[in-house]
A and B are shown apart, each in its own frame.
Chain A
Amino acid sequence: MAEQVGKTVAIVGNPNSGKTSLFNILTGSNQKTGNFPGVTVERKTGILKLAEDLRVRLVDLPGSYSLYPNSADERIATEILINPGHTDHPDLIVYVASAKHLDRQLLLLSQMLDLGFPTILVLSMIDEVEQEGRTIDTAALTKRLGIPVMAISSRRGKGLKQLKDQIGISLQSGPLQRARPIYELHEDAIKVLKAVGQVEPSENLYLRWLWVQHFEWVPFDTGKSVEEWLAIHKQFNIEPLKEQVDETFERLNQMELLADAVVSRDPASRTFSEKIDALLTHWFWGPTIFAVIMLFVFQAIFAWATYPMDAIESAFGYLGSTVSASLPEAWYSNLITEGVLPGLSGVLIFIPQIAILFFLISILEEVGYMSRAVYLFDHWMQRFGMNGRSIVALISGGACAIPAIMSTRTIANWKERLITILVTPFISCSARIPVYAVLIAFVVPYERVGGIFNTQGLAFAGLYLFGIVAAFVAAYVFKKILKGKSHSFFVMELPAYRMPDWMNVWRNVKEKVGAFVMEAGKIILIISMILWFLASYGPGQNMHLAEQEALVEAADLNLAADATEDLVNAKKLESSFAGILGKSFEPIVEPLGYDWKIGIALITAFAAREVFVGSMATIYSIGSEEDEFRIREHLAKQVDPVTREPVFDYPTALSLLLFFVLAMQCMSTLAVVKKETNTWKWPIIQFGFMTVSAYVVSLIAFQLFS
């Protein structure tokens, strides 16, 4: 079978036009998602099979309103369309417009036609228009525009076969021939083009005109410096912004006449969406309903994810014991059972939460609800240097900062997005819960308050609240110190409410989970192998001596086999590199009220917070099989060898709790921040300010209360 992937077809259209649904259904599983080089704008490409021996490359260009871009997304689309040398520059355009609002989506189409692209106009969601009893005269459109027009419904698969056939035919027929452009360049523009270079009659004048206007970032060498361009602009008195506004006006006038002629109008009435919005965007009920929805999302993440998470944990437990039973006693067996497998399980354990979170968030996006939430909260979030969309990230952070940070891609303004990324890890994520659960009892004794509450539950809520306050304070500080254009503008369409396209939801979940496993997963795995090494090896004969010592001590004390093993493990950890590191850390953590044992646990917790409880259990030779309650009981019995005072008194536990609220102890989050910001600078800054603030706050708390 001959592979013919030489030709490129681009899907172009406004945001919310049904572009992505069409792309998904045309390519099926034959698609790849990545980023355009250097920016976090998603690049979706796929293979479209037209016939047994005819395949073309399909590119889903970011949704745009015009070739005069206002966001990073639109700019990428423009760059590709005006640069014939770009790898994604199309041979054919499939222009998708929602049949429901055809009249407002013709601006970009008119620009495509003037660029001379062979184009097929696809009217999506045709069934919804027909249900409303309206019609669109596709034959008249074809006649007026001079291009094929097809109506399809991606959800029902209607019209897809004809579209594929048409793509095949249009690819054969060469460039578009139109008698005259929709927007005629004025005389001054033509003079400029002549001044810039020789204009051959065969050349596309509009393309040249776009180069002149976008000279600052035309993605190839124009042969002129910025100064030369500015001089030309000055000489001919060109103000690009004014030119663009005038052109847009002219195009809209032309296209509106067209739309009036072919679309039968629906009677002006309050739409279904507006009726729902009366409640969902109400100044009081809107935020209330939002809170309830988010509470549900949160609840769902915790309630539903428990089962798969438990299953993953026990599967890895089983795998670990099977592997260690079948492999010989050697360093590589230990590496697998204590380094690689826990690392893998540390990656996979997050998948259920990430999948559920993105499942629910995608549904809210697809339905059209998210843009309402953005409308409601934008103004509050702006005071803290963020954007309405940041609220989604902050709430997601309550489950796990990793998907939360990944969800900030929808924030167009860089500064607002960066601040959101930097402060999201302050929100208490699910990995902090086990630590809170063990330590809270040392700080507040259990008492009932007002019948339904108890003191420990309230303290729990207090820790969450403290994290939220920390996030907003940090955001405010960053707003003041970071440079950058924060006065972005925000004109956003509120799309009509509609049923989610399940295919889009599924693809989104798959993509996010895949990105997490591939990107964060690598780092978690490496770190857990390093930790394994640090905890299993010590300098010289250290480990061996420690084992002997522990065995002697156990024999003296007449310990049972289990207790002996626990003691041996504790002594070995103490003499390992990790133990030495912990002891050398003691002077640093002592002012916070921690001894070197807590120091070791803290070091291991920098890979992932939940590791802390397990490390504490090992260090205090409790045995890792015990539950939280037993661990807590055990810790309460620990006394300082010199002063005989309990190690876990009120000030130490409080200081530790506050440390866990604020400190950046998650390698995976740092890895994702690196990926999303494309530099190590921001994860390093984030690690620094979070850990310093944790240290200072814990220090103050300990010194005040001890």
Chain B
Amino acid sequence: MKLSDLRIGTLAVLDHFPVSPLHRKMLSMGMLPGQQISVVRKVPLRGSLYVKVNDRLIALRFREAQNIMVHL
């Protein structure tokens, strides 16, 4: 499923992202497939997501979260 569809508070595992500059950036910030990810909060109406990966707090846009695949 897409990260953007993940419900707040549910713990999921990062699955994969398309090869893109976004992917490179996320990797360089230490977000790796296989890590646990959860959505901490969302701005309503397809606003930004506030996620927690590997103890790191990260904000990203809804559009970007649509490209990140996770599984439960």
Measuring CB to CB, which residues of chain A are less than 8 angstroms from any residue of chain B?
65-66, 68, 70, 101, 103-104, 107-108, 239, 241-242, 244-245, 248-249, 252, 268, 271, 273-274, 277, 281-283, 371, 374-376, 378-380, 382, 388, 487, 489-496
Q: A489–B27 contact, CB under 8 A?
A: no
Contact of A378 among B21, B41, B47 (CB under 8 A): B47
CB distance from A331 to the nearest CB of B (A): 60
A494→B58 CA distance, assembly (Å): 5
Chain B residues, Cβ within 8 Å of A70: 21, 24-25, 28
7 further A-B pairs in the complex, CB-CB below 8 A; given A241-B19, A248-B24: A70-B24, A104-B30, A378-B43, A379-B48, A489-B60, A490-B48, A491-B64
Interface size on B, residues (CB 8 A): 35
Q: A492–B58 contact, CB under 8 A?
A: yes
Chain A residues, Cβ within 8 Å of B46: 379
Q: A282–B60 contact, CB under 8 A?
A: no
Q: B40–A245 contact, CB under 8 A?
A: no
A496→B55 CA distance, assembly (Å): 11
Contact of A379 among B27, B52, B62 (CB under 8 A): B62
Q: B56–A245 contact, CB under 8 A?
A: no
A424→B38 CA distance, assembly (Å): 37
Chain A residues, Cβ within 8 Å of B28: 65-66, 68, 70, 107-108, 248
**Interface: B61 (CB within 8 A):** yes
Which residues of chain B from 32 to 61 have a CB within 8 Å of any chain A CB? 32, 40-48, 50, 52, 54-61
Q: B55–A268 contact, CB under 8 A?
A: yes
Q: B30–A282 contact, CB under 8 A?
A: no
Q: B58–A493 contact, CB under 8 A?
A: yes
A277→B51 CA distance, assembly (Å): 12
Q: B62–A277 contact, CB under 8 A?
A: no
Chain A residues, Cβ within 8 Å of B10: none
Task: For B47, give the chain A residue with the smallest CB separation.
Answer: A379
CB distance from B11 to the nearest CB of A (A): 11
CB distance from A496 to the nearest CB of B (A): 8
Q: A252–B59 contact, CB under 8 A?
A: no
Q: B47–A241 contact, CB under 8 A?
A: no
Chain B residues, Cβ within 8 Å of A493: 29, 56-59
A362→B31 CA distance, assembly (Å): 29
**Interface: B23 (CB within 8 A):** yes
A493→B26 CA distance, assembly (Å): 10
Contact of B59 among A65, A107, A375, A487 (CB under 8 A): A375
Contact of A491 among B25, B43, B47 (CB under 8 A): B25
A446→B34 CA distance, assembly (Å): 67
Chain A residues, Cβ within 8 Å of B59: 371, 374-375, 378, 490-494
A108→B43 CA distance, assembly (Å): 32
Q: B57–A273 contact, CB under 8 A?
A: yes
Contact of A101 among B47, B48, B56, B61 (CB under 8 A): B56
